[in-house]
A and B are shown apart, each in its own frame.
Chain A
Amino acid sequence: NAGVTQTPKFRVLKTGQSMTLLCAQDMNHEYMYWYRQDPGMGLRLIHYSVGEGTTAKGEVPDGYNVSRLKKQNFLLGLESAAPSQTSVYFCATRGMPYEQYFGPGTRLTVT
């Protein structure tokens, strides 16, 4: 099993460009999450989903949108990238009873 995978691993964007990060899981987990990790800031929740077709805002949702059209995929979109969105993005799923499993991360640089 691949567990939680993320595409792409690295990306450089110019300010104003858009992109979509893909998270895929093969563990049949209901809950999925998107975090961003910045130096000295820990992991901050952007958006999450409690099941197919549902999404909800986390701690830092501004500038991001998400979709969960299929149970196994959770997409994170940046409509108009800004330098403040330079970060490492982690996707996670929640297993039983509460453990979260993280993907390998996507390193995004916005210039």
Chain B
Amino acid sequence: GENVEQHPSTLSVQEGDSAVIKCTYSDSASNYFPWYKQELGKRPQLIIDIRSNVGEKKDQRIAVTLNKTAKHFSLHITETQPEDSAVYFCAASIRGNSGGSNYKLTFGKGTLLTVNP
């Protein structure tokens, strides 16, 4: 099955700096890569996603890049703010045996991002 590795497990930055979280995946058939943010005690929420026909996607201060050849993708957060502090999870889709598409996600183990004021 799919295996997703995420690094680093913890990341501490100063407010205003950039943060980068990297993930690699094993299944070359994966074609959907979302990023979720989970604040302490809350549910995970989608912040950005990318499909394999796109190399980069940006939404205000966050961006995701995808390198299909190398099977890795990264989350970039610029001008970090204290409210960006949370656990971030990457994930990759895997096609199931019953047909359909992108209905199972394999998650990385998460990165705890701390933004220091």
> Which residue of B is nearest A49, CB measured?
B103
Residues of chain A with a CB closer than 8 A to B9's CB: 40
Residues of chain B with a CB closer than 8 A to A103's CB: 43
What size tier do the contact residues of chain B reach?
A: 20 to 34
Contact yes or no, A100 B46, CB < 8 A: yes
Distance between B95 CB and nearest chain A CB, rounded to angstroms = 12
> Which residue of A is nearest B41, CB measured?
A105
Q: Which of B44, B98, B102, B107 contacts A98 (CB 8 A)?
A: B102
Distance between A87 CB and nearest chain B CB, rounded to angstroms = 14
A90 to B41, CA, bound (A): 12
**Taking beta carbons and an 8 Å cutoff, which residues of B are in contact with A?**
1, 6, 9, 32, 34, 42-46, 49, 89, 93, 96, 98, 100, 102-110
A-B contact pairs, 27 of them (CB 8 A): A31-B103, A40-B109, A42-B107, A42-B108, A43-B44, A44-B107, A48-B104, A50-B98, A50-B103, A56-B98, A58-B104, A59-B1, A59-B106, A90-B43, A90-B44, A94-B103, A98-B32, A98-B34, A98-B49, A99-B34, A99-B46, A99-B49, A100-B46, A100-B105, A102-B44, A102-B45, A105-B43
